[in-house]
Amino acid sequence: MTVYEITLKIYIMQDIPIPKIYTELTKYIDSYLAQHAFYREFHEKNLIKGYSFDLPVKIEKGMKAYKSDQIYQFRIRTVDQMLLSYLLEGIADHKTDAVKGLTRTVRQIPNRPIASVHTLTPVVLKNADHKGYWRDCMSFEEFEQELCAGLIRQYEIYTGEQVEKKLPLYDQIELQSKCAVGVPYKGITLLGDKVSMQVSDNETAQKVLYFALANSMGTMGSRGCGFLGYRFV
C-alpha cells in the first residue's frame, strides 16, 4: 500500500467564510468526481472512500474568510491508484462557482515507522449507537475505544485483512482541543475534536495508521475531517 498526496493550488473566486471552506472544497472535489460515471456512483455509495483532504492553511490573525482573487493550496491523499490517476488527469482544470483549480503536484508518503499522528482538521464520530456529540453521551475511555475501533474497521473493510480487535494502536492519546470544534455539514453543525496519538510500534498498528494518513481518522475524511499530520520515528 502506498499513500499518495496531491497538493492543489486553487484560486478563490468569491469570499468564503472560514467555516464554509469544508463545504466549498467538498463541492469542488465531488463535482469533479461526478463527471465520471464510475466515480459518480462511487461517491453515492456508503463505502470507505480511501481518500481525505485538508483545508488551506493560510489563515492570518483576525481572518474571517478566504478572500476572493487570492491563491491558496490544500492537499488530497489517497491509496487508490485509479482514483489518483483520475484526480491527476483533470482536477487542476476543474472549477466551481467559488473555487478554480490552478496546478497540482503529487508525491508518495514513505511507508516508514510512524512515531505520532495529530489531526489537522477535527475528528468527527458518527455512530448509530450514540446521538449527538460524544462528550454528551460517553466517557473519554469510550471515545478512545470508538475511535480505535473505527480505524481498525475501516482498514479491514478497505483491505480485506482481519485485525485483532483489541490490538493496541497507540501508547498515548490526548485531546488537543479544550472544547468542541464546529464543522458545517448539510445545513447543520457537527462537533469534533483535535486529537494527538503516540503510535504503537507493532506492525499492524503501523499499517492501520499509515492507511489512516489517506483515509483520515473518524468517519468523515471525504468531507474534510480527521486529516492527519504525522511524525516519523
pLDDT at 113: 96
Cα 6 versus chain centre, distance: 13
pLDDT tops 70 at residue 221:
yes
Q: Across residues 46-58, what is the average pLDDT?
A: 84
Local confidence band at 120 (pLDDT 50, 70, 90 cut-offs): very high
State the average pLDDT for the chain: 89
pLDDT digits (tens, 9 = 90+) for 174-218: 998 888 888 888 888 888 899 999 999 999 999 999 999 999 998
End-to-end alpha carbon distance in the chain: 19
pLDDT digits (tens, 9 = 90+) for 3-28: 999 999 999 999 999 889 999 999 99
Residue in the block written with cell 504503537: 200
pLDDT tops 70 at residue 144:
yes
pLDDT at 29: 94
Range among 30-34, 172-176, 227-231 rated most confident: 227-231
Q: Across residues 48-65, what is the average pLDDT?
A: 82
SS (HEC) of 58-79? CCCCCCCEECCCEEEEEEEEEC
Other CB atoms within 10 A of residue 155 CB: 22
With CA atoms as reference, report the closest residue to 73 among 29, 104, 31.
104
Report percent pLDDT > 90 for the chain: 62
Local confidence band at 114 (pLDDT 50, 70, 90 cut-offs): very high
With CA atoms as reference, report the closest residue to 55 among 183, 188, 232, 175.
183
Q: Across residues 153-181, what is the average pLDDT?
A: 89
Report percent pLDDT > 70 for the chain: 95
Local confidence band at 128 (pLDDT 50, 70, 90 cut-offs): very low
pLDDT tops 80 at residue 61:
no
